[in-house]
Amino acid sequence: MTGRPPRTIRVPGDKSLSHRALMLAGLARGRSVLRGLLPSADVQSTAACLRAMGVSIPTLTDEIVVDGRGRRGLHAPTEALDCGNSGTSARLLTGIVAGAGLPARLIGDASLSKRPMRRVTTPLSAMGAEFAFEAGDGLPLRIVRGVSSPVAWPSPTASAQVKSAILLAGLVSGLPVSVTEPERSRDHSERMLAALGVPLTVDGTTVSVEAYADELPAFALTVPGDPSSAAFFAAYAVLTGRPVRTSAISVNPTRTGFFEVLVRMGAVITTTDAGLECGEPVACLEVQGQLGAPAVIAPGEVPSLIDELPLLACLAAYAPGETRVTGASELRVKESDRISAVVAALRAVGAEADELPDGFVVRGRPGARYHGSIVTHGDHRLAMAFGVLGAVPGNDIVVDDPDCVVVSFPGFWDLLQAAGA
């Protein structure tokens, strides 16, 4: 322990919850009050798409009022729905639009257009929807016909986006649906739906929504801080010996895998001010300690820390021994091929790392100094992970595209600089 008082970090609103809060407020009947939304580029994309379908959403500030259209009140957009770089926007809105039976065309930037969409359109097609791909299996994508029948979908992968698209299609259409996953993925959608009174059941890894004929009620929600954003400062604390305390963040058990692994590697984490917000458990975290062991991440753990795995790779560069991640092939279809990109970046700064087909191996060197330039491929999580590694005293790492962090964490660099002040 350092004896230093922890520096308080105000973590921005959770990105996953911000997307869902906007979508459900748009589908609710009446005026919903949303506080603490993340005003990132990805969330702005969701807001713009909802506006294009008739939802009244003001400029995203710390508190906004959304005038919802009701489950069946959206109208067909007159222009393409531009999802920008946001996979959450593209996949969840595909479920909503198909559920509403609206003709629409979804587009995205070059990176998003490379990401697979059939994992969403296949189960929605089983519900009777029809889609037209313009190139490959990504965006642009046209929704030709909406859903018309129930589905009990056995998802081959654990994906909160796939699961949420199906649940939202069922909610909007009024059709009963269920999704069974091989492992439990993030459960933000089902927690929020249940808190709003939607008839929903969870049985192991199966989530079901009954036929829903009511209007979704308007609601008030304060979005807690994003644990994926807090993770960067938890890593900073153990890498630099400077303890941090976060503002209230989501401590949803499907999102805390990184912090559990960090404790196994030697960190000391305490929680305070625990509470509940729209079905989501929240708390403040205090993080200190130092790395004393490597990590072995088995496939069953991957869904709970999929977004933090590039950061874990950077931490592993300082952990004694060999850190190994398997069962993470999903990383290859994120904003970049994160397995290949993170290993290449680690090698570029002098760390020892190797690719696996479904993960990576990093051999840590406590006390090492890392120097060099890394290529992010426009991937925000790579930029921030190597930003944290570069903040370790004695390191000098140049990130090629620091501005790419705006899709999820617009104030990241200023906050990282303040953490070390």
User: Are residues 33 and 220 in contact, defined by beta-carbon separation less than 8 angstroms?
Assistant: yes
Which of 159, 189, 222 is where one domain is finished? 222
Looking at 198, 222, 246, which one is the last position of a domain?
222
pLDDT score for 277: 87
- The pLDDT tens digits for 247-287 are 999 999 999 999 999 999 999 999 999 999 878 999 999 99
Nearest-angstrom CA–CA distance, 384 and 231: 10
Residues 138 and 62 both lie in one domain: yes
For the chain, which residues score pLDDT lower than 50?
1
**Does 166 share its domain with 196?**
yes
* pLDDT at residue 355 in the model: 98
Q: Is 417 exposed, middle or buried (0-12, 13-18, 19+ CB in 10 A)?
A: exposed
Confirm whether 388 is domain-assigned: yes
Quick check: is 399 in a domain?
yes
214 and 231 share one domain: no
Does 174 share its domain with 232?
no
Tally of structural domains, the chain: 2
In a domain, 142, yes or no: yes
212 lies in which domain range?
A: 15-222
Q: Are 113 and 200 contained in the same domain?
A: yes
Say whether 47 sits in a helix, a strand or coil.
helix
DSSP string, 230-272: HHHHHHHHHHHT--EEE-SEE--TTT-HHHHHHHHTTEEEEEE
Show which of 181, 199, 222 is a domain's final residue: 222
Q: What is the set of active-site residues? A: 307
Q: What does the pLDDT read at residue 47?
A: 98
Let me know if residue 257 belongs to a domain. Answer: yes
Bridge-based pairing state of the strands 177-180 and 151-154: parallel
Q: Looking at the structure, tell me whether residues 205 and 244 fall in a common domain.
A: no
The per-residue pLDDT for 278 is 78
Residues 382 and 334 reside in one and the same domain: yes
- pTM, entire model: 0.92
pLDDT in the model for residue 421: 54
**233 and 218 housed in the same domain:** no
Res 3: pLDDT: 66
Single-letter amino acid, residue 291: L
Assigned domain for 40 exists = yes
Residues 339 and 378 occupy one common structural domain = yes
pLDDT, residue 2, reads: 53
Looking at residue 115, its pLDDT comes to 93
Res 320: pLDDT:
97
Q: Are 298 and 230 in the same domain?
A: yes
Instruction: Determine, yes or no, domain membership for 264.
Output: yes
Tens digits of residue pLDDT in 335-377: 899 999 999 999 999 999 999 999 999 999 999 999 999 999 9
What is the CATH classification number for the domain harbouring 355? 3.65.10.10
Query: Measured between alpha carbons, how far is 180 from 153 in angstroms, rounded to an integer?
Result: 6
pLDDT at residue 357, rounded to an integer: 96
292 and 235 together in one domain: yes
Q: Are residues 210 and 257 in the same domain?
A: no
